[in-house]
Amino acid sequence: MKKHSRLAIPFVVVFALSCGSSGSNFNLISVEEEWQLGNQLAADVARQMPVERDAYITSLGQRLAAQTPMGNMPWNFYIVRNNEINAFAIPGGHVYIHTGLIKAADNASELAGVMAHEISHVVARHTTEQISRQYGLSVLAGVILGQNPAVYQQLLAQILAGGALARFSRAAEMEADNLGIRFMNQAGYNPDGMVTMFQKLLSRERSQPGTVEKFFSTHPLTADRIRDVQNEISKLPQKAARTDEPEFRTLKGRV
């Protein structure tokens, strides 16, 4: 493990969270540089994808992000007008929720479960780790400095085509689940919402695979993984009670 001195406060905690899943040295890219790249990608995504802001999605996302070691960073949450069931996050704290996923969720804790999982990928820097594995650290550094427009366009095209930049490993998924249930629990949402949402996605994948294909291609989900989440929830000292809230019903009525 390499220490790095240029980084701001969240780094130490974030590094501790993410070092279990990686043997690469992607973390030589600072959180600030990563977030800068994310902002640029998000601006281009906003021009080419039907994204919009929503007060409730923003407030739910902020309540979850506030529980993380990156709570003081500028997070952004968006709805994507698309009926496929998908959600994704890109570096820099930009989290996207498809209207199809909002329709598939039956209560606020189910939506919170998916959002907490996506937020956790950002906090653990899984996408940056994956990009640096795929392209190499020097290429990624060049992209951040604006010196590699070809790879930048490739990353952007990948987001526009499938929503995400990475196909996460089983270990990254497990880490995002485990962090996610803690963040949602601390934010007051019953973590069982993540389990019931995942069960829904899994049964949908069996009955109508096309509608959840993109989510499954980046976040491999299995019955085993759901059992692991249940097991992690059983270790929580206390389980938050909130499963629903009126604002979720209003949002569902709108999408």
What's the order of all strands across the beta sheet hosting 51-52? 51-52, 76-80, 94-98, 87-90
> Which helix (H) or strand (E) element contains residue 175?
helix 170-186
Q: Give whichever of 144 and 175 is closer to Zn ion, judged by the CB atom.
A: 175
Nearest distance from C-beta of residue 213 to Zn ion, angstroms? 15
Q: Which of residues 127-186 bind Zn ion (CB under 5 A)?
A: 168, 173, 176
Q: At residue 60, what is the residue type?
A: L
- Under a CB-based contact definition with an 8 Å cutoff, are residues 114 and 106 in contact? no
- Among 240, 253, 251, residue whose Cα is nearest residue 64: 240
Q: Which of residues 219-248 bind Zn ion (CB under 5 A)?
A: 219
Nearest distance from C-beta of residue 82 to Zn ion, angstroms? 18
Tokens of 133: 């594995």
Q: Give whichever of 145 and 171 is closer to Zn ion, judged by the CB atom.
A: 171
Q: Give whichever of 63 and 219 is closer to Zn ion, judged by the CB atom.
A: 219
Nearest distance from C-beta of residue 31 to Zn ion, angstroms? 20
- DSSP secondary structure, 2-57, as one string: ---SS--THHHHHHHHHGGG--S-GGGS-HHHHHHHHHHHHHHHHHHS-EE--HHH
d(CA 4, CA 25): 11
Site size for Zn ion (CB under 5 A): 4
Select the span of 41-49, 93-101, 154-162, 218-226 touching Zn ion (CB under 5 A).
218-226
Closest chain position to Zn ion (CB):
219
Interface pattern 15-54 for Zn ion (x via CB under 5 A): ----------------------------------------
Q: Give whichever of 7 and 90 is closer to Zn ion, judged by the CB atom.
A: 90
Select the span of 15-23, 37-45, 140-148, 217-225 touching Zn ion (CB under 5 A).
217-225
Nearest distance from C-beta of residue 7 to Zn ion, angstroms? 24
d(CA 192, CA 233): 8
Q: Quote the longest CA-to-CA distance of the chain.
A: 50
User: Which residues bind to Zn ion, rule: CB under 5 A?
Assistant: 168, 173, 176, 219
